[in-house]
Amino acid sequence: MEPRLDELEAKMSLADDLLEALNRTVYRQQQQIDQLQQDIRALRQQLQEIAPDATGNPDNEVPPHY
Protein backbone atom coordinates (compact mmCIF):
# COMPACT_ATOMS: atom_id res chain seq x y z
CA MET A 1 0.00 0.00 0.00
CA GLU A 2 2.88 2.37 0.79
CA PRO A 3 4.39 2.32 -2.75
CA ARG A 4 0.98 3.13 -4.27
CA LEU A 5 0.56 6.03 -1.88
CA ASP A 6 4.04 7.33 -2.70
CA GLU A 7 3.25 7.07 -6.42
CA LEU A 8 -0.01 8.97 -5.99
CA GLU A 9 1.72 11.67 -3.97
CA ALA A 10 4.39 12.04 -6.66
CA LYS A 11 1.74 12.29 -9.39
CA MET A 12 -0.18 14.85 -7.33
CA SER A 13 2.97 16.90 -6.87
CA LEU A 14 3.71 16.84 -10.60
CA ALA A 15 0.11 17.80 -11.37
CA ASP A 16 0.36 20.73 -8.95
CA ASP A 17 3.58 21.89 -10.60
CA LEU A 18 2.03 21.60 -14.05
CA LEU A 19 -1.06 23.51 -12.96
CA GLU A 20 1.10 26.30 -11.53
CA ALA A 21 3.13 26.50 -14.74
CA LEU A 22 -0.06 26.67 -16.80
CA ASN A 23 -1.45 29.40 -14.56
CA ARG A 24 1.71 31.46 -15.04
CA THR A 25 1.50 30.96 -18.80
CA VAL A 26 -2.15 32.03 -18.94
CA TYR A 27 -1.40 35.06 -16.76
CA ARG A 28 1.53 36.08 -18.97
CA GLN A 29 -0.52 35.62 -22.13
CA GLN A 30 -3.36 37.72 -20.70
CA GLN A 31 -0.87 40.49 -19.93
CA GLN A 32 0.36 40.33 -23.54
CA ILE A 33 -3.22 40.43 -24.86
CA ASP A 34 -4.00 43.44 -22.69
CA GLN A 35 -0.86 45.21 -23.93
CA LEU A 36 -1.66 44.44 -27.56
CA GLN A 37 -5.21 45.74 -27.15
CA GLN A 38 -3.85 48.93 -25.61
CA ASP A 39 -1.39 49.28 -28.52
CA ILE A 40 -4.20 48.81 -31.05
CA ARG A 41 -6.27 51.51 -29.35
CA ALA A 42 -3.29 53.87 -29.44
CA LEU A 43 -2.68 53.13 -33.13
CA ARG A 44 -6.34 53.74 -33.95
CA GLN A 45 -6.17 57.04 -32.12
CA GLN A 46 -3.04 58.03 -34.03
CA LEU A 47 -4.68 57.05 -37.31
CA GLN A 48 -7.72 59.16 -36.51
CA GLU A 49 -5.47 62.13 -35.75
CA ILE A 50 -3.54 61.71 -39.01
CA ALA A 51 -6.44 60.88 -41.31
CA PRO A 52 -9.83 61.56 -39.68
CA ASP A 53 -11.69 60.43 -42.82
CA ALA A 54 -9.99 57.02 -42.87
CA THR A 55 -12.73 55.09 -41.10
CA GLY A 56 -12.26 51.89 -43.05
CA ASN A 57 -15.60 52.41 -44.78
CA PRO A 58 -15.40 51.22 -48.42
CA ASP A 59 -17.77 54.03 -49.45
CA ASN A 60 -15.02 56.53 -48.63
CA GLU A 61 -12.40 54.82 -50.77
CA VAL A 62 -11.44 56.21 -54.14
CA PRO A 63 -11.99 53.59 -56.87
CA PRO A 64 -8.93 52.51 -58.84
CA HIS A 65 -8.44 53.98 -62.29
CA TYR A 66 -8.16 51.50 -65.12
Extents of the domains making up the chain: 2-47
pLDDT at 57: 65
The model carries a pTM of: 0.65
At 62 the three-state DSSP class reads coil
Instruction: Tell me how far the alpha carbon of residue 33 is from its chain's centroid.
Output: 3
CA-to-CA distance for 20 and 23, rounded, in angstroms? Answer: 5
Q: For 29-59, write each residue's pLDDT tens digit.
A: 999 999 999 999 999 999 999 988 765 566 6
Instruction: Give me the phi and psi of 45, to 5 degrees please.
Output: -65, -45
